Amino acid sequence: MNLPNLISLARLLSVPLAVWLILDGRYTSAFWLFVAAGLSDAVDGMLAKYLNAQSALGKFLDPLADKALLVSVYVALGRMGQMDSWLVILVVSRDIMIVGGVIVTLLTIMRTYKVTPSLISKTNTAAQILLAAAVLGRLGLGVDDMGAITVLTYVVAATTLGSWAWYLVIWYRQTAGMEDAQ
C-alpha cells in the first residue's frame, strides 16, 4: 500500500471519530478533524500524481473515504438538528443511487464501469464540503456565517439534483442495451 492510499485509509478511519465528535457536541474538534480530512484529500491526490503512485486501490479508496466522510457528517449534523433533514436525505439518496448504480452495472454486465465526475458533480462535492465546514465552523468556532449557510444549503440542493440527473443519464447510456442482450 502506497503513501497516498494510506492517507485515504486514515481519512476513512477518521469517519467514526468525526461522527462521535459531532454527536457528543464537540463541534470545535469536529471542525478541525473535518478540515484535516479535507486537506488530506488534497495531499493524497497531489502525492499520487507527484510520486506517480496512482493505483487501482486508490481509485476506489479515495472516493470511498470522501463519500463516507461527507455522508456521515451530514447524517450526524442532521441528527443533531444542525442541518435540514430534507437536505440530508437528498445528499444521502444521491450517493446511494451512485454506488447502487455502479454495483448493479458491475454485477449485470461484468465489465469495468468507469464514471468520470462531471463539472456539476465536482461543484456539488465542493459545495457539500463548504456547507459542512460552514456549519461546523459556526457551531465550533462561533463564526457568524452571515446567511452563507442558507445560500449554501440551496446551492447543495441544486447541484445535488443536477449531479443526480447527470449520473442517471450516464448510467442509462452505459446500460441501454443490457436487457436486449440477455
Please compute the mean of the pLDDT values over residues 74-95 and round it to a whole number. 97
Joined together, the cell numbers standing for residue 172 give: 442509462
Apex CA 55: angle with CA 53 and CA 57, to 5°? 135
Q: What's the pLDDT tens digit per position in 14-66?
A: 999 999 999 999 999 999 999 999 999 999 989 999 999 888 888 889 989 99
Please compute the mean of the pLDDT values over residues 105-128 and round it to a whole number. 79
Please compute the mean of the pLDDT values over residues 79-84 and round it to a whole number. 97
Q: Does residue 108 carry a pLDDT above 90? A: no
Joined together, the cell numbers standing for residue 35 give: 478540515
Tell me the percentage of the chain whose pLDDT exceeds 90: 68
For 3-181, which CATH superfamily applies? Answer: CDP-alcohol phosphotransferase transmembrane (TM) domain (1.20.120.1760)
Q: What's the pLDDT tens digit per position in 142-174?
A: 999 889 999 999 999 999 999 999 988 888 887
- Look up residue 149 and give its amino acid: I
Beta-carbon-side half-sphere exposure of residue 40 (alpha carbons within 13 Å): 24
Q: Of 121, 119, 140, 117, nearest to 34 (Cα)?
A: 140
